[in-house]
Amino acid sequence: MSHHRIVITGIGLTAPNGNNLEEFRSNLLNKVSTIQNIETRYMGTVHAGVCDFDPLKYQKRKAVRIGTRAGSIGIYCANEAIQNSGIDWENFNKSRVGVYVGTTEHGNVETENEIYNISKYNYDTRFWSHHHNPRTVANNPAGEITINLQITGPHYAIGAACAAGNAGVIQACQMLQLEEVDFALGGGVSESIHTFGIFAAFKSQNALAQHEDPTKASRPFDMERNGIVVSEGGCLYTLERLDDAKARGADIIAEVSGWALNSDALDYVLPNPERQAQCMRAALKKAGKEVKDIQIVNTHATSTKQGDIQECEAIGEVFGGSDSTYINNTKSFIGHSMGAAGALELAGNLPAFRDKMVHPTINVDELDPQCNVGKLVIGEAVELDRVDAIFNNSFGMLGINSSLVVTRFQD
């Protein structure tokens, strides 16, 4: 593999509290959460992070009707990222564009809806939608993006549980380094709030958040945390080799300097702090960075009792001795956007290269002593002298771990 440097040149996102990076960042710094109560089939009222982007900005009504929510999220993010990148899209060779979209799962929403629909007709499959197969194949969100944008290069979805957003970025970087593509869209999407099954499953695990105020339900590290707030969302980056970005005069947002993926090989659900720490160290090594070089660590912490503690144990082992490293969490604002989480949470921190602010973690009224690790930024943003490197953790079920190191671009 060549050693091409890979840079981010565009960002497109939709989050429960913002439909572009400027709005998203402003709400993080101003402590604005928009988690709300929704009604879901068989479950009644649940807390959820809901996006309010306009799918008709980039799609026709027919395309929205026959496609999926994940596809619409991906199409919105991809178009926004391409516009943000400033690339001459009309004249770019689209056979040299790759689309790598991380997803936690795909197809559950459509299958649940179709089964519910035919239940009204005594389960007569003549009423089953002929759109079901293309809606539920694993590559759907990435494929819908290629149809919308007429991309003829490779596309696929990357199933990496809640590490998928980071995995989509990593795959894009690797394919650019291999020179398989010249321009890539990488990140993740989630439509999870539209399936009742995910709420039911977390509830059965005693891992579904409950609070009288939905905006306070997602509370990582807090003594009273009691589970996950499920959210939808998406974030895709345009990524390029540095030489290509410079040649076209691109505005370079940041450099993806290092990454790592590994597996716990332990349990279906319970994480392994030792393997998480190994993943973090591997990403640092690939980036050529020491612990003291990292100013911000964005945590994966989901507000589950044990998961938060174990991640803090791993972070403490790797970063605990650093006086220059500050630690925050984005899920406290937007809940857990599953396959989009890693990419969205990274995006929320990237503006720190310019504004030098570490956005806070909210809803921590009483810090769990077992989560008291390093310089946790709680309640109020912290301004630093400079931010040169951001570290992003994203972990998932079946023990998949991912870490990204993104740095201020320096030629």
DSSP output for 164-220: HHHHHHHHHHHHHHTTS-SEEEEEEEE-GGG-HHHHHHHHHTT-B---SSGGGS--T
Q: What is the pLDDT of residue 1?
A: 45
How far is the C-alpha of 404 from the C-alpha of 286, rounded, in Å?
Answer: 10
**Annotated catalytic, 300?**
yes
What is the full per-residue pLDDT of the chain (411 aa) written as tens digits? 458 999 999 999 999 999 999 999 999 999 999 999 999 999 999 999 999 999 999 999 999 999 999 999 999 999 999 999 999 999 999 999 999 999 999 999 999 999 999 999 999 999 999 999 999 999 999 999 999 999 999 999 999 999 999 999 999 999 999 999 999 999 999 999 999 999 999 999 999 999 999 999 999 999 999 999 999 999 999 999 999 999 999 999 999 999 999 999 999 998 999 999 999 999 999 999 999 999 999 999 999 999 999 999 999 999 998 999 999 999 999 999 999 999 999 999 999 999 999 999 999 999 999 999 999 999 999 999 999 999 999 999 999 999 999 999 998
Q: Does residue 355 contact residue 263 with C-beta atoms inside 8 Å? A: no
Q: Does residue 190 contact residue 252 with C-beta atoms inside 8 Å? A: no
Q: One of 47, 106, 336, 359 is an active-site residue; which one?
A: 336
Beta 6-14 vs 233-241: how paired, if at all? antiparallel
Q: What is the pLDDT of residue 183?
A: 98
Does this model's pTM top 0.85? yes
Match 């309640």 to its residue by tokens.
379
Q: What is the pLDDT of residue 188?
A: 98
Kindly give, in sequence order, each residue whose CB lies less than 8 Å from that of residue 91, ignoring residues fewer than 6 positions away: none
Q: What is the pLDDT of residue 2?
A: 57
Amino acid at 98: G
**Annotated catalytic, 359?**
no
Q: What is the pLDDT of residue 411?
A: 84
Q: What is the pLDDT of residue 49?
A: 98
Q: One of 47, 77, 106, 162 is an active-site residue; which one?
A: 162
**Annotated catalytic, 3?**
no
Cα of first residue to Cα of last residue in the chain, in angstroms, is: 22
Q: One of 300, 312, 359, 371 is an active-site residue; which one?
A: 300
Q: What is the pLDDT of residue 77?
A: 99
> Each residue of 317-353: pLDDT tens digit?
999 989 999 999 999 999 999 999 999 999 999 999 9
Amino acid at 91: N
How far is the C-alpha of 194 from the C-alpha of 74, rounded, in Å?
Answer: 16
Q: What is the pLDDT of residue 256?
A: 98
Question: Residues of 50-69 as b/e, b for ≥16 C-beta within 10 angstroms?
Answer: bbebebeebbeeebbeebbb
Encoded tokens for 93: 């060779």
> Each residue of 67-94: pLDDT tens digit?
999 999 999 999 999 999 999 999 999 9
Which domains are present in the chain?
6-247 (3.40.47.10), 258-406 (3.40.47.10)
